[in-house]
Amino acid sequence: MAVYIFAAFFVVILCSFYLYARKKYSYWSDKGVKGPTPFPIVGNFGSVILVKDSVQQYIKTVHLKYAGEKLVGVYRGFQPMLLVRDPDLIKQVMVKDFHKFQDRGISSSGSRLSQNLFSADGEMWRILRQKLTPVFTSRKLKEMVPLMQQCVDKFVKYVDYLVENNIDHEMRSLASKYTLDVIGSCAFGLDLDACSDEENQFSIMAKKIFKPTVYVRFLTILDMLIPGVRKLFTTSTEILDFFLGLVRNVIKEREGTPPVRKDFMDLMIELREQGKVSRRKEDGISEIEMDDYLIAAQALVFYSAGFETSAATMSFLFYELALNPDIQDRIYQEVCKVYEKYNGQLTYESLKEMPYLDMVLDETLRKHSVAGILFRKALEDYTIPGTNVTIPKGTLIMVSANGLHADPEYFPNPEKFNPDRFLPENIKTLKQCTYLPFGEGPRNCIGMRFAKVQSLMGIAAFLKNFKIERSPKTDTHLEYDPKGIVLLTKGGIWVKISKR
């Protein structure tokens, strides 16, 4: 008898769960929005949970599969999320109605570390963005070029040593030595020399941030099933402690002296001395205390957003040049002319005289968009213009930058590496909001110009001195690694480097 009662109970639970899941998963179809069929509990992100796909690669596939649709509905666990495909609607969400979609709405650990410009929402984000924007003005960037030049010199010297000694080096980690030096110098005033000193604390921290532990991966997966749950768990404070220590040391060294380097840390010290940072709102005044923790959190995000993205982009560019020697030759001619004109020294102005290299960088960012997915959260109920679809407050919106970049409707023959797409006359005809390597609207990448300047300087110096060719280890069909936070390839990028 007990067995029958248990079986009946089990069937009732199963049926209730089935009905619950059916109702939850009819959310988008009830609104007339198409999308891939979800799987109970995991929703549409099963392949991500099984580490067969990264989120950005999966969403790219969905973007491409639903050609012709303006919107696509997906589920993260049971939570509905909306993929916006149509460029006009993307513009609406990211630019015109930005005030209704200001938050990124990504789950974070809930630690003080997550109070950084990238993860912060609401008023906190607005204050931080306003305060941090002056770090990235053209004047500031120009002042940083001599610091970057020192890193370029070390980079060239190191590659020279590798070539002389016939040492093979994977290109992504090679480029990250350079970008790590740059961010260390321009943001923190540190002379790292990541090229010769692999065991410096900065490099070690980089590995910890971008190679998450099993526990952190587990939390990420759990958060895919139950959005927001990761806030309830504590994670190691090692990374925050490191940055906190670093920030406190720099503050101690510089306190009481006038700002000399005018770098990121100088600005942060200025904000700290101002104490509370206020901003008037219609409904009162909101304040944040720019304490050491908050400064460390910003330092960390500039560091992590700053070097790995640029290093990945540089390595993809080198890869494409190994496969396209004619493009490499053209850049070489251009770079040599500029070096000659500027007496062998790159300046901020000289970078503007390398339009072809700039086009090659833009095409690299199109074909291998390292941060390929953009997130926004609806801050109020919102009817998507031109449709009957109303999404409630709190709905997460996604835009697939690498889906748009691989869409033949906007970029014909998208697999072909073709820098001419970015000739001025072709840019004019490019549909707005189809090329988004640095995002769009007021919440776009704050470090975009910094990234371009540091990449162009490193690439120009590299190509002036070295030639890149295919080697037997070069993989002509790159496969992306599903574990990568920033776009990563399985097995790395290998090419042959020789001296010019």
**Residue 305 sits in the site that holds ligand HEM (CB under 6 A):** yes
- Least Å from the CB of residue 100 to ligand HEM: 15
Burial of 472 (0-12, 13-18, 19+ CB in 10 A): exposed
- Least Å from the CB of residue 452 to ligand HEM: 8
List the one residue from 188, 302, 382, 480 that touches ligand HEM (CB under 6 A).
302
| Total residues at interface with ligand HEM (CB under 6 A) | 24
DSSP code of 73? E
Question: Closer to ligand HEM at the Cβ: 315 or 328?
Answer: 315
CB atoms within 10 A of CB 368: 23
**Residue 141 sits in the site that holds ligand HEM (CB under 6 A):** no
Question: Closer to ligand HEM at the Cβ: 391 or 445?
Answer: 445
Beta bridge partners of 83: 72, 398
- From residue 341 to residue 370, the character string flagging contacts with ligand HEM as x (rule: CB under 6 A) and all else as - is -----------------------------x
- Least Å from the CB of residue 109 to ligand HEM: 17
**Residue 439 sits in the site that holds ligand HEM (CB under 6 A):** yes
DSSP structure string for 413-453: STTS--GGGGSHHHHHHSPTTS--TT--GGGS-TTHHHHHH
- Least Å from the CB of residue 306 to ligand HEM: 3
Please give the angle made by the CA atoms of 253, 256 and 260, to the nearest 5 degrees. 70
List the one residue from 53, 103, 407, 440 that touches ligand HEM (CB under 6 A).
440
Question: Closer to ligand HEM at the Cβ: 449 or 464?
Answer: 449
Interaction with ligand HEM in 112-131: which residues (CB under 6 A)? 117-118, 129
Question: Closer to ligand HEM at the Cβ: 151 or 374?
Answer: 374
Q: Which residues contact 102 (CB under 8 A, 6 or more apart)?
A: 121, 122, 125, 126, 376, 379, 442, 443
Six token digits for residue 125: 């984000």
List the one residue from 43, 105, 437, 458 that touches ligand HEM (CB under 6 A).
437
**Residue 174 sits in the site that holds ligand HEM (CB under 6 A):** no
76 vs 217: CA distance, rounded Å? 16
- What string of H, E and C letters represents the secondary structure of 328-348? HHHHHHHHHHHHHHCCCCCCH
- Please answer whether residues 385 and 39 qualify as being in contact, where contact means their C-beta atoms are separated by less than 8 angstroms: no
Helix or strand holding residue 110 (H, E): none
- Please answer whether residues 169 and 315 qualify as being in contact, where contact means their C-beta atoms are separated by less than 8 angstroms: no
CB atoms within 10 A of CB 11: 10
Q: Which residue is nearest to ligand HEM (CB)?
A: 439
- From residue 372 to residue 411, the character string flagging contacts with ligand HEM as x (rule: CB under 6 A) and all else as - is --x-------------------------------------
Query: Which part of the chain contacts ligand HEM (CB under 6 A), choosing from 210-218, 303-311, 351-359, 459-467?
Result: 303-311
List the one residue from 35, 447, 458, 482 that touches ligand HEM (CB under 6 A).
447
380 vs 394: CA distance, rounded Å? 7
Interaction with ligand HEM in 270-299: which residues (CB under 6 A)? none
List the one residue from 158, 243, 450, 494 that touches ligand HEM (CB under 6 A).
450
- Least Å from the CB of residue 98 to ligand HEM: 10
DSSP structure string for 175-232: HHHHHHHHHHHHHH-----TTT-TTSHHHHHHHHHHS--HHHHHHHHHHHHSTTGGGG
List the one residue from 269, 294, 331, 371 that touches ligand HEM (CB under 6 A).
371
Question: Closer to ligand HEM at the Cβ: 49 or 187?
Answer: 187
Tell me the Cα Rg of the chain.
24
**Residue 54 sits in the site that holds ligand HEM (CB under 6 A):** no
Question: Closer to ligand HEM at the Cβ: 49 or 117?
Answer: 117
Question: Closer to ligand HEM at the Cβ: 438 or 480?
Answer: 438
**Residue 438 sits in the site that holds ligand HEM (CB under 6 A):** yes
Six token digits for residue 354: 């390398």
Question: Closer to ligand HEM at the Cβ: 374 or 391?
Answer: 374
List the one residue from 57, 107, 310, 364 that touches ligand HEM (CB under 6 A).
310
Question: Closer to ligand HEM at the Cβ: 328 or 369?
Answer: 369
Virtual CA dihedral for 473, 312, 241, 276, nearest 10 degrees?
180
Six token digits for residue 234: 């504590």
Q: Which residues contact 5 (CB under 8 A, 6 or more apart)?
A: none
Question: Closer to ligand HEM at the Cβ: 36 or 434?
Answer: 434
- Least Å from the CB of residue 47 to ligand HEM: 22
Six token digits for residue 203: 């490099």
Q: Beta strand pairing status for 284-289 and 373-377?
A: unpaired
Instruction: Please enumerate, as own/partner, the contacts of 348-354 that have beta carbons within 8 Å and a separation of 24 or more.
Output: 348/138, 348/141, 348/142, 348/145, 348/453, 351/453, 351/456, 351/457, 351/460, 354/456, 354/460
Nearest to 75 by CA among 42, 108, 29, 107: 42
Question: Closer to ligand HEM at the Cβ: 89 or 117?
Answer: 117
- Please answer whether residues 41 and 225 qualify as being in contact, where contact means their C-beta atoms are separated by less than 8 angstroms: yes
Question: Closer to ligand HEM at the Cβ: 310 or 400?
Answer: 310
**Residue 188 sits in the site that holds ligand HEM (CB under 6 A):** no
Q: Which residues contact 394 (CB under 8 A, 6 or more apart)?
A: 377, 378
- Least Å from the CB of residue 398 to ligand HEM: 10
Which residues contact ligand HEM by CB under 6 A?
117-118, 129, 301-302, 305-306, 309-310, 313, 370-371, 374, 437-440, 443-447, 450-451
